Amino acid sequence: NAGVTQTPKFQVLKTGQSMTLQCAQDMNHEYMSWYRQDPGMGLRLIHYSVGAGITDQGEVPNGYNVSRSTTEDFPLRLLSAAPSQTSVYFCASSYSGTALNEKLFFGSGTQLSVL
């Protein structure tokens, strides 16, 4: 059971380049989300999804796009990378997103540097 898998683990981009961070889970979770973690800022929610075809914005959505075509996958797209998007990105999932007692499972993260 792989859990939540993120690829790549490390990525360096030039300003203006685009890329997609991949996230896949094999736990049949309906809820998936993306966070970014910055020193001194903690984890901040970028986008989340409560099921295939349904996405919503979190606290810091600007500059990022998401889509959810399958239950398993939730890719995060950077359309035109900026240095301010240098961060560690985490994908997380849970069973439904609304149950009172469900835990959140995290991937191991993608460290992104934008030069």
Partner 1 sequence: KQEVTQIPAALSVPEGENLVLNCSFTDSAIYNLQWFRQDPGKGLTSLLLIQSSQREQTSGRLNASLDKSSGRSTLYIAASQPGDSATYLCAVKRYSTLTFGKGTMLLVSP
Contact 73, 12 (CB under 8 A): no
Residue 115: CB atoms within 10 Å: 10
d(CA 111, CA 37) in angstroms, rounded, equals 10
Tokens for 51, please give them: 């099921």
Contact 114, 82 (CB under 8 A): yes
**61/85 Cα distance (integer angstroms):** 11
* Contact with partner 1 (CB under 8 A) among 90, 93, 112, 114: 90
Is position 74 an interface residue for partner 1 (rule: CB under 8 A)?
A: no
19 lies in the site for partner 1, by CB under 8 A: no
Binding window for partner 1 (CB under 8 A); candidates: 21-29, 35-43, 64-72, 79-87:
35-43
Q: Is 105 in the site for partner 1 (CB under 8 A)?
A: yes
Q: Given the complex with partner 1, which of 9 and 84 has the nearer CB atom?
A: 9
- Least distance between partner 1 and beta carbon 42 (Å): 4
Residues that bind partner 1 (CB under 8 A): 4, 31, 33, 35, 40-45, 48, 50, 56, 58, 90, 92, 97-98, 100-101, 103-109
